[in-house]
Structure formats: C-alpha cells, structure tokens
Amino acid sequence: MFCLIVFVSPLEFRQDFVPPFTTHPAYNMFAPPPQDPPFLSNYVYDHHSDVHVVKSCQHERGRGLLAVAGESRVEVLLRDSSQKFLSLTPIASFHVGATAIALDWSPEAVSPASSDNWNIELGVACADGNMRILRKTPQSPLSGEIRVFGGGTTGHSARISSLAFSSAREGMHVASVGEDCNLLIWNLSKRIKSEDDPDSSMDLGDDQQDQDQAPTAYPIAFSHPLQDVIAHDANARVLLVADSRGTVSLVDWAGAEVEEDAPEGWHRQRVVELMDPRRVAEGITGVRTSGVPMNSSLSGGADWKPDDPNIIGATYGSRWMIWDLRRVQGGKPVATGEGFLSGGHRFRWCPTDENLFAVSTISPVPGAAIKVYHISFPGAPRTYQLFGRPHRVRDIDWLTELPTSSDAQTEELQTRVPSPPWLAVAVGRKVYFVNALEEAGAINEYVI
C-alpha cells in the first residue's frame, strides 16, 4: 500500500483565486441586488427623507393622486397617463415642519387629470400634536396653503393615530383618533369656504377673522387606545373606529336618523361593534397567542371596502379578519386567516380589483415584505419580498385608476395597455410600486 502525501505551501495560491468574502454578492451587505424583482416597477420615487405615510385619493374626482409624507414634507404625485408604463409626476409640495403620522384626502379634492380647475386638499396629523389642512389650487402660491389646528389643550392629550374627512351634510368635518382613547370630530365648515364661494382662498389676514376661529371638536370616549378612523363615501355620517384590542366600531356620530339612500345594513342600530375574539381574549386574560404586545405600534389596523360599505377588513396580531354587516353574527368575522407572525400593521382593500387585499407589517423581522390575498383563495397569499432585514415597510396603499380622459389618444393608450393593480410600498426614503398580478417568484435572500 502506497500513501501519497502532498505538501502545499501557504503561498502557492492560484493567481486567479480571490477570497469570497470580498467579491461574492451574498457576503457584501452593501452590494446592490443582481436585478430587480420582476414584480417591481422601474419607477421608484425618492422622497429624500424617511417616508412614513403613503395615501391614495379614492374620491371619484381625485383619482390618480398619491400623497407621500415624510419627516417634514408632504409631496403630492399624479399618475402620468401619457406614459406606457407606470410613472408619477410631482405636482405639489407642502412643508409642514414635523413628521407625518397619518393622512387623508378631502372629498373636495379634484385631480388635474379631471379638471383644469383642480384642487389639492388633504389633512395630515403630525408628531408635534397638530393637524394641518393642506390645500393648493391653480390660484394658490407655489408653496400651497396650510392651516394648523388641534394642538395644545384643544386636541388630543396623546399621540394622534389617524384622521379622516367626513362629508356630512352639515359641512366639512375631520375625525381624529389617538392613544388617549378619544375620537374627536372637528367642524371645519367655518375655516374652509365652500366650492361655490367665488373667493375660496384660505387667507390668514385680519379681514378673515370670522373664518379663522379655532374649530370646535365633539369628543366621543372609548375604553382603549384607538388605531384607525375611516369614513366611507356611501355613508358620510358613519365612522369606522378601530382600537388596539381588536374591536371595530361603527359610530353614527351625526345622529340616528335613517336616510332613504343609506346602504343595506345601516337601518337596525346606531352603533355596531365588531371584534376579533382571539385579540379580545388576549386583552382579558393577558395571555398572548402571538408575539405581538398589546397596545404596541404593531397592534394593527382596519380598512373599509371602497366598493361595498358592508365589508370591513382588519389585521390584529398575526391574523387578518373580514366582517360582513349583512351577517353580523354577534360581531364575529366571517373570514379569518394568517398574516405576519410578527404582527400586522396595515390592511388595505384594492380599489381597482374587488377581489384583492394586502397586509403589511412594520416589524423588521421578515424584512420589507407584503402579502397580497385573493378573497377566493385566502389561504394562498402571494408574498412579495422587496428587501431583506433590517429593512421594513412603513406604509402601503393601492394606487387608484385615472379618471376617464376626454383625450382620444390617452383613451386609446389606456385601452391598449390595461393597468394592473399597483401597490405603493414605503421603504426607507423611497416608495416602490408592486404589480400585484405579477408572480412573486423566489424570495430575495440578499441583504441590502
């Protein structure tokens, strides 16, 4: 038996050998990915500061508008119908001077794609405890017009979580909720002139003293910190309020009168309470069935189906649930499913495809990932992994379709190239756009 022993000097390396720790992309945490995932649009919006909120306008005349809010600035983007592929154009910028927490579009918003007499109008709640009405028209200055209200002793005593416009018949109202367990409804009819007024400016001069009085707030107390407040165009007198304990309440704040054109399901009671039994049980027993602490920023949120006011969705803990007001069932959901084990943060119905909804988490545990569900196959979601840890998703919202254009060339382009459902995803300082009809494919394992 022969034994061959070969000694290799440590210096006798191949000249073309390079240590893998310096070149292989899997070992370089700052290397860009080899290629973008197929579900991502080539268009990426850079806000140049951390993006905290993204919100599409779902009102009929304001479709195509997207608001992006960061640490001190709110940008308004408009979908560009002249391009074959997805593209958005900045059309307004507001310097608010504080980090945005929540946004909502006014029912009076009118997209430049709908009319030459456009009107950019939205509300924003900021970390400084104030709320602001942002407005810009063709006659406004370049920086737009900003009204501040709700600060100091007149507003919430804790962090504001959400706000929503309500177009009740009595005038313009804004509802806000916070961690102080209060729903406040602000009457802004004295501060914002009606569309029929020929002088619709928001001048802060002394001659506008009557219009510049601080708005009054009507408080409604709840038992637990509140996460979301949502209004629906089908019934402006009713507000959807979601708390951190898994309870969703429908409050007829404007009165108990029954209107003839109210949707089916609103005639029986003034307040409807829906609940997630598992989350409520956690609050009572103190035993958590998921890894999400109670009353944390991961407590979840709710959303109202745009095309059906009887359908409500929410995510709490590691699950999502759907309620149907035509089948209340004692407040229990008609459908439930698994979301993110680290806790859901956003639930969003798709306004362009009635069968889709998306769930995201603000936790960095799964990285920057979202899940898109089809209501016919709720057990088989598509998971879109944009980036790995430590990136995380700050906010998501679906883009709305542009209004019907009178331009024949634009109509031909829109007919020839049908637009897929696009989901705006805020990660870091940028907003990415996910095609929800594209296969998710393999999850990106590289770390960026």
CATH number at residue 377: 2.130.10.10
Q: Write down the pLDDT at residue 288.
A: 55
- With respect to residue 377, please indicate whether it lies within any of the assigned structural domains: yes
User: Minimal CA–CA distance to 67: which of 156, 4, 144, 177?
Assistant: 144
- Give residue 18's pLDDT: 42
Q: Which residues contact 40 (CB under 8 A, 6 or more apart)?
A: 386, 432, 433, 434, 435
Number of independent structural domains in the chain? 1
| Cα(334)–Cα(327) distance, integer angstroms | 8
* Helix, coil or strand: residue 269: coil
- The answer to whether residue 389 is domain-embedded is yes
pLDDT of residue 447: 28
Residue 351 domain boundaries: 33-192+213-254+269-435
Chain centre distance of CA 24:
37
Residue 239 counted as domain residue: yes
Residues of the chain with pLDDT under 70: 1-36, 168-171, 190-214, 255-270, 279-280, 282-299, 403-418, 439-448
Phi-psi region of 261 (alpha: psi -120 to 50; beta: other; left: phi over 0): alpha
At 386 the pLDDT is: 93
- The residues pairing with 397 across neighbouring beta strands, listed in sequence order, are 424
Please state the pTM of the whole predicted model: 0.80
**pLDDT value of residue 321:** 94
Q: Is residue 367 part of a domain?
A: yes
Q: How far apart are the C-alpha atoms of 94 and 395, rounded to whole Å? A: 20
| Residue 380: inside a domain | yes
Query: Per the domain annotation, does 323 fall within a domain?
Result: yes
Cβ-contact 237, 168 below 8 angstroms: yes
